[in-house]
Amino acid sequence: MDSAYNNPIRQRINKIFDSHIITDNSEALYTVSGLCSSNSAYTRRILVNEIEKRDLIVNKAILGEYSKVKDKLQVLIDSLNSLDVAVKDMSNRLHESKTKTHHIIAQTTKLKDERRKTKKKLLWVNAFVKNFHLSPEQCKNLFDVSPLTIDFFNSLT
């Protein structure tokens, strides 16, 4: 802890701030002392006291405004954080939808290929049935127990 307070850069900054405050107060006192008729130590003390009170009031007002800015900034940060969470959620959902869409497209392509193959098989089956299926009359001629006729031989071809 001591090293933080004994840091040479920090000491220089504090010295600059302190001299700036003293200079501001001295300038204010010098300006106001020209307006006062008596220039006694008591009057100077009263003036210094009044200047410091007003300086304190101004500093409190500035601090209050900075607090308001800080609060609004915190609200903005919270809003941005919640927006970030929402965007990440939407991004994840979009990625899931994209994955599902690719899966559905792959399934659709596979089903289309299967449908095309099934149509070809159906054409082959229909052609086979058309060429090699026996009509009811041909079945009757082939399985009839009566003596052989010309219809029996026609059914064989």
Inter-residue contact 152 to 143 (CB < 8 Å)? no
pLDDT score recorded for residue 96: 98
Provide the 8-state DSSP code for 146.
S
Question: What amino acid occupies position 96?
Answer: E
- pLDDT score, position 1: 47
Domain positions in the chain:
36-156
H-assigned helices in the chain: 2-5, 8-33, 41-132, 136-143, 150-156
- Own/partner pairs, 65-73, CB within 8 angstroms, 24+ separation: none
pLDDT under 50 in the chain at which residues? Answer: 1
| SS3 call for 6 | coil
